[in-house]
Amino acid sequence: MTRLQLFSYRLVSYLPVFCLLLIVVTDLSSRETKSTLKDVEYARVGEHSLKLDLHFPEVTEDSPLVVWIHGGGWRKGDKANCYVKWLTAEGYTVASIAYRLSSTAVFPAQLHDCKGALRWLRANADKYGYDAERIAVTGSSAGGHLAALLGTTNGYKELEGNVGGNLDQSSVVQAIVDYYGPTDFPRRIKTQPHKTIEKNSVVYDLLGGPADEKIELAKLASSVTHVTADDPPLLIIHGMKDNTVLIGQSESLKAKYEALGIPVALHVLPDGKHGGMEFYMKPYSGLVCDFLDKHIRK
């Protein structure tokens, strides 16, 4: 047998295996494409493109929607860091949204972007299959701040904005999950001046100046300022040993909710610090699922 004949024989012998591998790779690729849709533009502000990622459950049709807002001190972070993608295995569609960072624009630009994303998501619900009437918002740290603020400022025109249009759509949510987010900047001025007053601190950059000199804006940016009796149910998860966002921030928001008789729960990790995967694992993942099942599952 010549070398050419031997090569042809081996090629034919391996052809079925090659074809099988090609089918498997193609199938995996199509599954990945079906399960995740990345970098969908929901708005454009000037030259700045605002995008989101959609993570779908096995059955998307009529699924509840959970909107994730990433953390990073309002100055960094990325929608790719979506710590609740595991909710797709529980039948939820998850949207992870980007927003303008404090280096690009000061507050309330970040909240305007988040509300613009909510309106876009509602406007496109039929296209993607999730249920526009069953939406929860969640986020960690700075994202938890924005999630709680979004959920408690329904109808507040100054904080609604017009980013992305779709102004015929509502930015109301039916539930909030706040992972260790700051909620009370006036209180934080007293307990953490290095985070709120000092030049180039995270809140200084967010507000465009020291929080004690921008006290009205600091109040406007605090979810405790806006709580009313018609606000959605709230679940808060916070670490007792968190020195970045003190647990007193979550206690302030919980107290406001309790005073008005709105459903609220604060779960504390006794050894928890500021973030870490333990916040998104059992038993706390189960608490989140139970909360969402109760409030946005049919």
Angle at the Cα of 42 from the Cα atoms of 65 and 53, rounded to 5 degrees = 50
Task: Check if the beta carbon of residue 56 is closer than 8 Å to that of residue 46.
Answer: no
pLDDT in tens, 42-65: 999 999 999 999 999 999 999 999
Rounded CA separation 142/113 (Å): 14
CATH of domain 37-184+222-296: 3.40.50.1820
pLDDT in tens, 111-126: 999 999 999 999 999 9
136: left (phi over 0), alpha (psi -120 to 50) or beta: beta
pLDDT in tens, 8-19: 444 344 444 344
**Cα atoms found within 13 Å of the Cα of residue 159, Cβ hemisphere only:** 22
C-alpha torsion angle, residues 175, 180, 181, 184 (rounded to 10): 100
Q: Where are the domains of the chain?
A: 37-184+222-296
Asked if the model's pLDDT at residue 295 lies above 90, the reply is yes
User: What stretches of the chain show up as alpha helix (H) in DSSP?
Assistant: 3-35, 109-123, 125-128, 142-152, 157-160, 185-191, 193-196, 202-207, 215-220, 247-260, 284-296
Backbone CA torsion sign across 220, 280, 53, 39: positive
Rounded CA separation 50/170 (Å): 19
Asked if the model's pLDDT at residue 31 lies above 80, the reply is no
pLDDT in tens, 220-249: 999 999 999 999 999 999 999 999 999 999
Backbone CA torsion sign across 285, 287, 293, 296: negative
Rounded CA separation 296/288 (Å): 12
Q: Which amino acid is located at 266 in the chain? A: L
**Residue 155 pLDDT:** 84
Per the structure block, which two tokens stand in for 47? 């030259």
Rounded CA separation 66/1 (Å): 64
**Residue 12 pLDDT:** 40
**Residue 211 pLDDT:** 97
**pTM, rounded to two decimals:** 0.88
Q: Kindly report the backbone phi and psi dihedral angles of residue 274, in degrees, each rounded to the nearest multiple of 5, phi listed first.
A: -95, 90
**Cα atoms found within 13 Å of the Cα of residue 106, Cβ hemisphere only:** 15
DSSP string of 4-52, one letter each residue: HHHHHHHHHHHHHHHHHHHHHHHHHHHHHHHHEEEEEEEEEETTEEEEE
Q: Kindly report the backbone phi and psi dihedral angles of residue 12, in degrees, each rounded to the nearest multiple of 5, phi listed first.
A: -65, -35
